[in-house]
Structure formats: structure tokens, C-alpha cells
Structure 1
Amino acid sequence: MNLRILVATPLVALAACSDTDAQSPSANETVAETTEAVSPDTKEVVADPSEDASATLPDPALANASRSYDPALSAPQSATSVEFARVANAKLPRDRASSWRPSAPVEVTGPFGNLVLDEPPYAYVGFGNDPMNIHLYAEMDPAFARDQQYALDGFYDAKGNVTVNCMGAVSRDTADMPPVYKGCFALFRN
């Protein structure tokens, strides 16, 4: 199975990797050098303390922009990816596969970490400051990958943030993976 991962820096860069690439010595060395810990207060992945912590933390403006998200409300809402991931982590137990369905659609905005283009029709937008620090995935509508909507003007804002509207369930299959929000569509800025 081939996975293609797009990473947003100032420009979108495309990297192709396969299952055999993931087992190469250089990839294993890179993974071995990276240490991650889960903060019990925020349930976010935090980088190795020896690194510059400000480079891996979410944009403070995004983290504080949507403190009023309430999963019990039945009206559509907006949330930052950090806040939505916190709520999802609280609702999804880590000791088993589980899912949760928000009571209304949620517009999620956050820093673009990566894009995983899996076997059609699966495409996932990863929210995080870099590809190794993802706190939430959005499973996108098949048209997102088919029409290469990730390359269209207006998908990314000037800071590298993206916004998606999601209407499906949120799930986690294993304890070490971030929540995956299903039924998502890209929102574009003018």
C-alpha cells in the first residue's frame, strides 16, 4: 500500500513513501531519536523537552479562540482542532477501540500537520504543527483527494491553518493514535 503525505510549510511539499521505506534504517533511526510524552492535563502530544517547545505547541491564538465549544449543544459549532481533540480524548477511552458522535456538525480550524492520501477513497487531514505532532485527523470526503482540493487556493490560510466541516463520528482504534473525525469536507477562504 502506498501512502502519500503532504506537508505544509510555506509551500505544500509532496513526499511519497511506502511500507518498505518505513522499515529502512534511516526512518527507524529518525523515529528512535524522537521521543513523545502525553501531557495528562491536555492529552496532547508534547515533543522532547530538549527541543524548543514553542516550535511544537499549537498556535496560542487558535488554542484560546474557541473556549466555548460544548459537545452537548445540538446546534452547529466551531472549534479549534486543539479544543476538539481535548473533548474527543475525554470522550474516547484509550484502553479500547471506541467511537463517539457529536450532536451537531462542527467546523474545525487548526494548523495543518500533514495529509495522508491512502488507497482511494481515503484521505486524512492531520491537524498539528508538524507531521510527527498530530493531535486530530479529519477523514475527508472522497472528492477531496479525487479533485485535489488540498491544492486549491483558499484551503490554507496565511498561517498554514485549514478549516473543515465534519458531520460524522469520531473514533480511535488504538491508544496511541489521535482521534479521527469522519465525514469531513474542506472549507475554502476567499
Structure 2
Amino acid sequence: MKALVVPQPTANDVMLGQQALLAFPYEPAADVTEFLMVSGDEPLPDEYTLGLAMGYQLGIVTINRVTPSTDVPGFFEWEVAPKMLVAPKAMHLEPDTFTPVAETDYTPLEIETIGLFAWLAEPHAAFSPALQAHADALVAIGAQQMPAKYREILAQTGSWQEVDAAWEDAQFEHRNAHMLAHGITELDFGHQHAELPKLNLKSQHDSE
């Protein structure tokens, strides 16, 4: 088996079945049809990643197809699908590099994964005890990795919605500050927090 880094939130989206395409400036070797996905130490810029574990093994991913990108010259689109979850284990790898791993380096979990659309159709359905324990472990890791500001909000309120709202406010203020710095008049379109649920695997201990 070989391991590969995929940044958050893309790694989380792949494991939920929300994202089926990955873009890389290279093709996998012909004999590489699956890999151990490790979430990157750094998230994608300006993407919501609070509560998502970074620098951890997440699961084994199958590569179903690789084709040249029609949008970005020199890149390849990998059609992927989650195969199985693995126990969260810290692993720090160089990005864009397949790293050989022994079977003893990761622990497969015999847990049924939950797909995004099934989750949306029944968002309050209970996970199996094993999947819930796995989700709790990942959320605990991700929560500890959050900036202190958001850890404090979560500790005080017990609410991920409050954390999400604070992040959205910070992003909105950052964009306006950037515009003002470049001589663009501040815009206010009645900023509101999205009512759609965050599609991140939250813990059963979330009071919301």
C-alpha cells in the first residue's frame, strides 16, 4: 500500500462520497489502484476546515479512472471512491509523493461508511455505535487542532453552529478589509449565516 496526502476539506469530502474527482499534476503508477489517504497538515486556503482532523490517516481510497484534465493543462483528474475507513493515526508526509506503508502502519476498520446523500436524506439518523465512536475520535482531534478562538467558543457554548457562525463572520470581515485595502468601497449585501447544515461529520456530543 502507498499513502498520499489530500488536503482538508477535500479529504473529508472524499470519505463522505461528496467529491469523486481529485486533480493532481501527475498520474499514479499503473500498479497503484488504491491508496491510504492522509489528510494534509495544512488546509486549502479560505476553506471551512474547523473540526476536521489534519495530518491523520482517514481511509483507503480506490482509484477508478485517471484522465488528462480538460480544464488545467498538465493536470490529471483521478476518479476516486472511498473503500474503507482506517483508525485515525497521525502521519506527516510530503505532499504530492506516494509513500510506501506496511500493513502494520495502519488499521482498517470494518465499519459501514455513510454516504453524503444518505446523510442529507436522513440528517438526524443515528450512526452505528462503531461509526459514532470513529466520528467522535476524529472530531475530538479536529477540535483540538482549531485555533484557540474557536476552541474557546466551542468550550463556552458547546455549539458547532456558534463556531461556524464565528468563522463566517471572520471570513466576511477579512474580505471587506481586503477590499478596503485596495480602495474598493465596503459592500454589505445583508450578510447572513447559511441555513444549510455543515456537511462535516460532527460528534453526537454536539448540543446542536
Q: TM-score, normalised by structure 1?
A: 0.26
The structure with the greater share of residues assigned to strand is 1
